[in-house]
Structure 1
Amino acid sequence: MCDSTNATPRDAAESAPRPVEGEAVDPISLLPVDEIRITTLVDNAFDALLTSDQRATRTGFGPADTPAGQFETGHTSVGLMAEHGFSALVTVRRGERETRLLFDAGLSPTAMVSNADRLEIDLTTIHGVVLSHGHFDHAGGLAGLAGRLGRNKMPMVLHPEVWTRRRLLAPDGGYEMPTLSRRALTGEGFDVIERRQPSLLLNGSVLITGEIDRTTDFEHGMPAQHQAWTGAEWRHDPLVIDDQALVVHLRGQGLVVLTGCGHAGVVNILRHAQRLTSVDRVHAVIGGLHLSGPAFEPVIAPTVAALTELAPQLIAPGHCTGWRAQHTLAAALPDAWMPSSSGTTYRLIST
């Protein structure tokens, strides 16, 4: 449960990254790649006025081909869909060979596939699916993906606790979250691969962290309102133990880390990735950091202090990061921070 007190500069200093004693029990030999492209298929925001630069290609309004009778031509232009969810297409290149993974699928059955269509991305060309965790705003688009793939077998890597029943309490009673069904996924053609431990995908060039070590003293996880069903009763579920991240080693640059919600805490995630791979340098951090809302606002200051010390060249927080954290990160890391938006492609190239 998160402490509701305000973080102080001293708290931030005491919470700065520090080495974890010892080496990983099973160190990962993560092969460097020459290029990585991460396309945000679904995020909480879409901004058609963002401009592209050498690091990111933005998507604006599309052609005026959507039927709308109130216009003289009978058509209008639309942008991409934004919703409270996250999905990203990850493309890695080693030499001349490119491979693709889908990381999460967004909230609704339609947003991810609709945005992929508008971006002219053929989802049948992906080589596998990774789920960051079992929350429904990262898995709802699997229904739309299954419709595109048909009965073709598609490997899906996930943590075995994604099937956990969960609920959120609130003064009005709250609600039980939709729970993933293993039977339904396998029935739709997904080849479900459950892993608690780290996994190497795409011939050793992509690392899925598995369960993440919790080593910071400020990333406490979800508040008491987040609960899981044990089979006999509802209990506080602070850890969301199925939370995992995707890690790529960009040759000559360092680690590129993609999170879904970052429930383990982004500093915990980055330290875990460094320890697993023995790569100290963090080049880029992209995805949700779950720093939104009163329960997480005390975590913002020490998190930003830790990220400032790690000095990534790119940080593009999205989804559940929250506006207070976004403003703080933008002020602390103005050269690295970039606003996230559905339809953005981050292109990172080795040196």
Structure 2
Amino acid sequence: MLLNRRSLLKGAGALMLPWPAVAAAPRPAPLRFTVPTIDRLELTVLVDGTAALFGLPIDKPDLKTIPTPRLADYHAAFLAQWGYSILASTRAGAVERRTLVDFGYTPEALLNNMRLLGIDPATIDAMVLSHGHYDHFGGLDGLLATGKVRRGTPLFVGGEEAFCDRIRGMTPDGPPFGAIDRPALAKAGIKLVVGPEPAIAGQGFTTGMIPLVSPEHPVVPTAMLPGKGCDRAAIDPAKRDKDFVVDDAVHELGTAFNVAGHGLVVIGSCSHRGIINTVRRAQAVSGIDKVHAIVGGFHLVPPQTPAQALQTLDLMRAMNPDYIIPGHCSGETFIAAALAAMPDRVVRSVVGQRYQFGVRD
């Protein structure tokens, strides 16, 4: 049966089916630092699944969107693809920083879009890899190969499991899904910061390990191969002696920014631990309850169900964020229902578009 917006909204209050059960994850690391406060945040979508030429600027209370620029050269075009990368440009007082979160599926898309937007890799101050899926790190090798990323630039990764070889599907005969090129990171002089603890990244912070504290328990349709690409001794002891483990995304990170006077802007790049769990972890890490915006991929495509997408919308509405910017794997069920339920708060994610929060220039 096809779901229209009316049925989606009706279902949002009625379809509250349980999520599949998963094994308990290791305990998250203790919280131990004060997060930065910034005056201004600009998010630029570098890679996502939607591109558009005729976007209009949007001026909302405490949010301004600048559409993807039109290009003088008709041969040039922004590239959209299944994957995600977003650049956070921040300012605190007179200090500015740039934090790159994820790298998209291919170097071609990432580098093409950065070039068209006039973004120099040498201006990146910190990088975050949300998790070890190719559609989030596939562009990394090409970015490093430019030779422009400064040596010593930190790359924050949530755990050793991010480096394990992966396969698509949840059975051992699934096709390969790649692995991070660790030698390339060393060659480029990247400073790897690997671990489950929250960390300051640029003028934002990572969530560290995300506990499952909401009804969300998403299914991750990939598996990892312990000992291949990763150090067995450094992964979860329950997984070390196995050759095949269905992913639980325990290494996944969220990234967040505290905008002065407005609250948290939380990026859940793919949200395999659940976008509600990701936001709650950012709140716990920072001690800040107010959520200004929730951004990114919310992992509400199959094998997640429409009922789960609607349940997540209910939970998100209860958080009362000022804005929601769904992209990547958020799924059309969630996006359509969110637009119908909160039309003034939902803004689509588009390649090349910029979203400005906080003090305006």
* Superposition TM-score tier, normalisation by shorter sequence: 0.7 to 0.9
Identity %: 28
How far off its partner does 1:46 sit? 0.3
**Residues 252 and 10 from structure 1, CA distance in 2 versus in 1: closer, same or farther, beyond 3 angstroms?**
same
Q: After alignment, is 246-255 or 154-163 more displaced? A: 154-163
Letter aligned with residue 223 of structure 2: Q
Q: Which residue of 2 aligns with 1:348?
A: 357
Q: 1:262 aligns with which of 260, 271, 287?
A: 271
The Cα shift of 1:27 comes to 4.7
1:71-92 per-position Cα deviation (integer Å, ceiling 9, x unaligned): xxxxx35331101111111111
Once the two structures are TM-superposed, the CA of residue 60 in structure 1 deviates from its matched residue by 4.1
CA separation in 1, counterparts of 2:194 and 2:339? 37
Whole-angstrom distance in 1 between the partners of 2:353 and 2:80: 12
Cα distance change of structure 1 residues 222 and 164 upon mapping to structure 2, 3 Å threshold = farther
Counterpart for residue 228 of structure 1: 224
Q: 1:170 to 1:197 in 2, by over 3 A?
A: closer
Aligned length: 321
Spell out the pairing of 1:166-185 with structure 2 (5 A cutoff).
166-169=166-169, 174-185=174-185
Matches within 5 A, 1:1-351: 9=13, 12=16, 25-54=30-59, 55-64=64-73, 76-150=74-148, 152-153=150-151, 154-159=153-158, 160-169=160-169, 174-202=174-202, 205-217=203-215, 219-223=216-220, 225-231=221-227, 232-237=242-247, 239-350=248-359
Q: Which amino acid aligns with 1:208?
A: T
Q: Is the 8 A contact 2:166 2:177 kept in 1?
A: yes
TM-score by length of 2: 0.82
User: Structure 1 unaligned runs (5+)?
Assistant: 1-6, 16-23, 65-75
Structure 1 residue 321 displacement after superposition: 0.9
SS at 2:191 equivalent: strand
Cα offset for 1:246? 0.8
Tell me the alpha carbon deviations over residues 234-266 of structure 1, each in whole angstroms, 9 at most, x when there is no partner: 2322x2112111111111111011121011101
Contact 1:308 1:332 in 2 (8 A): no
Letter of the structure 1 residue corresponding to residue 176 of structure 2: E
8 Å CA contact retained: 2:13, 2:314: no
Whole-angstrom distance in 2 between the partners of 1:347 and 1:81: 22
CA distance in 2, matches of 1:8, 1:220: 18
What do you get for the CA RMSD once the two structures are aligned? Answer: 2.4
- C-alpha contact (below 8 Å) 1:313/1:335 kept by paired residues: no
- Secondary structure at 1:110's aligned position in 2? helix
1:92–1:152 Cα change, 3 Å: closer
For 1:37, what is the secondary structure of its paired residue?
strand
CA contact (8 A) 2:99 2:201 kept: no
Structure 1's consecutive aligned runs of 4 or more residues displaced over 6 angstroms after TM superposition are: none
1:281-300 C-alpha deviation (Å, 9 max, x unpaired): 10011111110124343311
Q: Distance in 1 between matches of 2:277 and 2:42?
A: 24
Measured in 1, the distance between the counterparts of 2:204 and 2:193 equals 16
- Report the CA distance between 1:141 and its aligned residue: 1.1
Give 1:3's aligned residue. Answer: none
Q: TM-score, normalised by structure 1?
A: 0.85
